[in-house]
Amino acid sequence: MIDHRFTPAESVAFPGEAPTAESLEHRVHRLEDAVASLQDTRGLEERITARVAERMGRVPPGGSAETPRGGGRQPQPDTMDPGQTWPPPAATPVGVARPPWLLFDVYHELRAMVRMFFDRRYQVTWPGRLIPLAALVVMVLSWFILGGIWVIGPLLDKAVDVLLAFVGYKALSREAARYRATVAAGQ
């Protein structure tokens, strides 16, 4: 910090007086020291980072919440030797990317699923072909078999349909993710 206190050793130039060379030299020296301390902001940055991490409840790297590394109290950055290194603060994301809206996400997923079946460069794996087809066949069969049961038949049929649709979608979703990764690696 800059010290603005008046010391008796320095002379002050009043209006109309010329400042002495000694007072100017002393003031320039103090100003140079203040600028040098402002340029070395590592200690200040480390203290701010430690305070923010403490308020957020984060644990410093390599330590635990109860005991600092080494079992004892860690030295503060301003009391450390100049050659001593301070552990770097944990990387915290500045802005977390928001996921796309659900409808846009479903649209992109369905578009990738359709493209993977018609892309000549990509070979769809057997689970990607067989599981959705088998789920569709079992849905139709459950409509004939379970739909005729009185009272609980339609409810049971819809429950089986939802489960099979989920399994088929997951199989296609995994295959679509594999397709996107393959296409991205090929470009």
174 within a domain of the structure (yes/no): yes
Parent domain of 143:
102-186
Measuring CA to CA, which residue among 91, 93, 87, 92 is closest to residue 62?
Answer: 87
149 within a domain of the structure (yes/no): yes
167 within a domain of the structure (yes/no): yes
136 within a domain of the structure (yes/no): yes
Q: How many domains does the chain have?
A: 1
Per-residue pLDDT tens for 54-97? 887 765 554 444 444 444 455 555 555 555 555 555 555 566 67
63 within a domain of the structure (yes/no): no
Per-residue pLDDT tens for 101-115? 889 988 999 999 999
User: In 10 A of CB 88, how many CB atoms?
Assistant: 10
7 within a domain of the structure (yes/no): no
94 within a domain of the structure (yes/no): no
18 within a domain of the structure (yes/no): no
Q: How far apart are CA 65 and CA 54, in angstroms?
A: 10
